[in-house]
Structure 1
């Protein structure tokens, strides 16, 4: 007959192995992912272990899993930072199979001699995308009230569409607001463009080509005029897509090229290569760009499901970009994509987005990564696998566009020609 063990006694290897096996069971995993069920999870672990003749109470199971996750995260962080000095541990592979199921980039940011804004990174199965919150640290999933005011109605959708469709720059010299989307490979830049156009088309379409690979699908500078509803004139908004940051040394963006696009020197369709920077000899180079050639607002795009696993050097890259862009007096905002992957409640009902503590926490982390206030960050859910539009999702997308246009228009207000009035002949 098995001897009952006290919860404070050390765990044997066979006991830890049994605990991890139970944890990996599908039914247990599903229960684990439900907010507010932590106590039930560990009670279940304890019961299942007892059936195997292993006696540890729920508290002991919780403490052991917490310690295993901490050790795993410590090893994982080391491996992500020091690619050539990989470490492991007794339970690393078992925990990686359980927790490290989603690939992400690992490595550090660097700027090559040519100024390429890339990461020395590779996709690896060892990358951790799970949040690895300790149970007592995990943000509570839901707030009682929305922390940003939102109206989720068909009327609000129609109102936002009219506002965006009728938008024209406040400066008469500008006819459209050009917004550059900047972000890591796979962050959802092209998907955002297609999603916004889908709302105006009344059906899901892929206007900007979207890929799923780890390398940037977008290879060149492309400008997309957002068309209004059928029979209407194009809106006053142009969304500009460009190769993703971290696309590799041969396809990556340089700071010089990013600034050339923003200043209006880079021609439409320009392909970017670190060894061929945009310059006077570039075919189609715009020597004296007008207001219509320049970028009037920059929207950084980051993936909520990868915020915690982006390379540490990415923050440095973003801050470098923001400094130079700010020197050009260009306002910047941020889009947080893939919010449905980090919050099950929002995945089921997007109206819960501003009640979710998880998303609120991730928006704060996105602001920290970019070096900007959370007030500039807006969450969006792009259309990906859906075939039909959803009113609530449309409202969230349109609010993001309205947010972008407010900051784009500040550029026109700041750069409006100063009229000093007619000259007066004093007769002297």
Structure 2
């Protein structure tokens, strides 16, 4: 479970989006954590993810796959505010591996999702590397919504995680491109727009 950018191996990282002026930022930030792994002693612990969602873990905490954060840890936030809390949960899954998600990984992801639901936090899924997973899309990104393979992957995620179909967004990440591409940007911005709208709805409903 990660954000759209590359994750740190262990720690949570906060990314703010800078405006044109120095020292000014758009009113949203991405917090990136290490991924969920199928093994018990690997990846971020579900208990820590729940604490992070409720604002109890400060930025820069090194997640320990073996034990959850202690309340005595200097990175533990005992009195989180609304600004410390997660306003929308985004689960990032690679289209190249979504068909081999283990039962353990799915169970962890569902537990996190249900905890977010109980907190009122909206949840979305970003399906990445769609061009690597589907030759049809690799040939032309406009085929993203015509691809039977991607539709099957999205349906699988819908069933496995319980995320509504309209909350699962396929995207192609930039990797070797020199120039920007409108079709790639359209998919990314569509997902980003829904993330921002969902976060705003969460805050406004409190």
Fold-level match, TM-score > 0.5?
yes
Partner of residue 346, structure 1: 137
Partner of 1:243: 34
Task: Identify the residue that residue 144 of structure 1 maps to in structure 2.
Answer: none
| Whole-Å separation in 2 of the counterparts to 1:249 and 1:317 | 10
Deviations 1:198-241 (A, max 9, x none): xxxxxxxxxxxx4xxxxx7531010100224x448422221111
1:328 equivalent among 98, 109, 119: 119
How far did residue 273 of structure 1 move?
A: 1.1
Q: Does 1:402 align with 2:193?
A: yes
The within-5 A match list for 1:239-318 is 239-246=30-37, 251-318=42-109
Please state if 1:385 is matched with 2:176: yes
Number of aligned positions between the proteins: 205
Is the alpha carbon distance of 1:271 and 1:355 closer, same or farther for their aligned partners in structure 2, counting shifts above 3 Å?
Answer: same
* Contact 2:8/2:33, CA 8 A, preserved across alignment: no
Name structure 1 gaps, 5 residues minimum. Answer: 1-181, 184-188, 194-209, 211-215, 416-428
Match in the other structure for 2:14: 223
Q: How does 1:63-78 map to 2 (within 5 A)?
A: none
SS state at 1:322 partner: helix
- The answer to whether the Cα contact below 8 Å between 1:218 and 1:241 also exists between their aligned partners in 2 is no
Query: How far has the Cα of 1:395 moved from its partner?
Result: 1.4
Aligned equivalents of 2:72, 2:104: Cα separation in 1:
32
Q: CA deviation at 1:276?
A: 4.1
Larger radius of gyration: 1
Superposition RMSD in Å = 2.0
* Residue deviations 1:101-138 (CA, integer Å, cap 9, x gap): xxxxxxxxxxxxxxxxxxxxxxxxxxxxxxxxxxxxxx
Provide the TM-score with structure 2 as the length reference. Answer: 0.90
Does structure 1 conserve the Cα–Cα contact (< 8 Å) formed by 2:154 and 2:168?
yes
Separation in structure 2 between the aligned mates of residue 269 and residue 360 of structure 1, nearest angstrom: 37
Give the distance between the partners of 1:361 and 1:251, measured in 2 at CA.
28
Gaps of 5+ in 2: none
Structure 2 equivalent of residue 83 of structure 1:
none
Aligned with 2:163 (options 364, 372, 376): 372
